[in-house]
Copies of this chain bind each other. A is one copy, B any other.
Amino acid sequence: MSEERYKKGMEMLKIMNPKSYKQLADNLEDIAPDMARFVAEFPYGDIYTRPALDLKTRELVTVAAITTLGTAPLQLKSHIKGALNVGCTREEIIEVLMQMAVYAGFPAALNGIYVAKEVFEELDNEK
């Protein structure tokens, strides 16, 4: 275990998406606790902390990637929230999702937009 990377990752997660990570760590607790640690260490500790890209761009390219995969609505949801948390607007997120129609096809883009709709409605209801 590398204490320092884990700490850096957890600090990054505090800025980006503490709730989603908490949920993920709770889900993995009994079955694969090391996996939760790897998520903190590698994506958040190693990658998101690098200075070459700002966090808004990092979240938007992640939204693009997961929408293209089309297989991970849960993670798309959590990164749409992450994008909002670091300052992206709803309009920017929708725009990225729409652009995916060109590269990943209309079904992928539409399903991404439906996930965003769900996130936005949840956030509006929390208010």
Residues of A in contact with B (beta carbons under 8 Å apart): 2, 4-5, 24, 27-28, 30-32, 34-35, 38-39, 42-43, 46-47, 50, 52-53, 57-58, 60-72, 74-75, 91-92, 94-111, 113-114, 116-117, 120
A105 in contact with B103 (CB, 8 Å): yes
B106 in contact with A106 (CB, 8 Å): no
Chain A's interface: helix, strand, loop or mixed, by majority?
A: helix
A101 in contact with B65 (CB, 8 Å): no
Closest residue of B by beta carbon distance from A94: B32
A5 and B37 CA atoms in complex are apart in Å by: 14
Q: Mind listing 24 A-B residue pairs with CB under 8 Å?
A: A28-B113, A31-B117, A32-B97, A32-B98, A34-B98, A35-B98, A38-B101, A42-B106, A47-B98, A50-B95, A52-B91, A52-B94, A57-B57, A57-B96, A58-B99, A60-B61, A65-B100, A69-B71, A71-B108, A74-B114, A75-B110, A101-B105, A102-B105, A104-B105
Q: Which residues of B are found within 8 Å of A34, using beta-carbon distances?
A: 50, 98
Looking at the complex, which one of B61, B91, B98, B111 makes contact with A74 (CB distance below 8 Å)? B111
